[in-house]
């Protein structure tokens, strides 16, 4: 199965992608995680990406397309869930072409709907476990007692100013993708509000349709 998880920053894409990957035996491909690893390793891609990421801007399409193309070639073009990619129409066109060359079309786009007023609150209270990559929300999905405060990372792009820029980038460049997806791929709308389990159950229900 080849899936895309789509939605605004803070919609829960990362959390739900991890669960979906685990339950359906898919590789979780997060371009955000790949780029953060590149920044940590101070690779050429990381050096190019860092300033954009800190500011909450999108990283240039050619940089992101390249790392996705390399990853898909490495894993064999199947059994994956893309999280945070594509984020522009150019990226989507690149992906659709790369996959059609391999006769491996996307089966579905799962779109997580979360109203804007919830997003800032979700992002500003989000924390990531540096050791396991697990994503928590300090109020709604708090870390277990054995995960110490020092292990919890507050992403620098989850500060208010970067959040604002990320939302602007989303509206200007990513939201228009919805029309592209609806025209080319099976598009599943899922309500992203509620507990992790509720949202997960809705995604599983949506994926139960024919042809998946």
Could you tell me the two tokens for 117? 């007023």
What's phi and psi for 198, nearest 5 deg? -65, -45
From the list 2, 36, 122, 126, the catalytic residue is: 126
Note the Cα 121 to chain centre separation in Å.
18
Residue 7 sits in the site that holds ligand AMP (CB under 6 A)? no
For ligand AMP, which stretch binds (CB under 6 A), given 16-24, 79-87, 126-134, 182-190? 79-87
Residue 192 sits in the site that holds ligand AMP (CB under 6 A)? no
Query: CB within 8 A of 199, min separation 6: which ones?
Result: 12, 16, 112, 190, 191, 192, 193
Q: What share of the chain is helix, strand, coil (3-state, %, to 5)?
A: 55, 15, 30
User: Which CB sits closer to ligand AMP, 15 or 91?
Assistant: 91
66 is catalytic: no
Query: Which one of 32, 106, 108, 111 is in contact with ligand AMP (CB under 6 A)?
Result: 32
40 is catalytic: no
Q: Are 125 and 138 in contact (CB under 8 A)?
A: yes
From the list 2, 36, 166, 202, the catalytic residue is: 166
From the list 87, 122, 127, 202, the catalytic residue is: 87
Cα→Cα distances 82→11, 34, 43, 162, 199, Å? 14, 12, 22, 23, 18
Note the Cα 203 to chain centre separation in Å.
15
155 is catalytic: yes
Residue 80 sits in the site that holds ligand AMP (CB under 6 A)? no
Query: Which one of 3, 53, 106, 110 is in contact with ligand AMP (CB under 6 A)?
Result: 53
CA distance 125 to 152: 11
The minimum distance between CB 145 and ligand AMP, in angstroms, equals 27
Residue 9 sits in the site that holds ligand AMP (CB under 6 A)? yes
The minimum distance between CB 88 and ligand AMP, in angstroms, equals 7
- In 3D, which of 195, 185, 193, 191 has the Cα closest to residue 203? 191
Compute how many residues bind ligand AMP; rule: CB under 6 A. 18
Per-residue binding letters, 148-177, with ligand AMP (x by CB under 6 A): ---------x--------x-----------
Q: Which residues pair with 191 in a beta bridge?
A: 113
- Contacts to ligand AMP by CB under 6 A: 9, 31-32, 35, 52-53, 56-59, 64, 84-87, 91, 157, 166
> Active-site residues: which are they?
13, 87, 126, 155, 166
């Amino acid at each position: 199965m080849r899936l895309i998880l789509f939605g605004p920053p803070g919609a829960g894409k990362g959390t739900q992608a991890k669960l979906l990957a685990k339950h359906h035996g898919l590789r979780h491909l997060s371009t955000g995680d790949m780029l953060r690893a590149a920044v940590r390793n101070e690779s050429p891609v990381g050096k190019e990406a860092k300033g954009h990421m800190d500011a909450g801007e999108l990283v240039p399409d050619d940089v992101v397309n390249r790392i996705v193309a390399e990853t898909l070639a490495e894993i064999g073009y199947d059994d994956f869930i893309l999280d945070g990619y594509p984020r522009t129409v150019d990226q989507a066109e690149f992906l659709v072409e790369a996959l059609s060359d391999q006769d491996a079309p996307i089966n579905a786009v799962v779109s997580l709907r979360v109203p804007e007023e919830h997003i800032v609150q979700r992002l500003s209270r989000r924390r990531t476990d540096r050791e396991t990559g697990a994503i928590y929300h300090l109020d709604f999905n708090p870390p277990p007692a054995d995960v110490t405060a020092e292990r919890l990372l507050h992403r620098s792009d989850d500060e208010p100013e970067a959040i604002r820029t990320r939302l602007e980038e989303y509206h200007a460049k990513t939201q228009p993708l919805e029309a592209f997806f609806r025209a080319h791929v099976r598009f599943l709308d899922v309500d992203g509000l509620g507990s992790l389990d509720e949202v997960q159950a809705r995604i599983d229900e949506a994926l139960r349709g024919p042809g998946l």
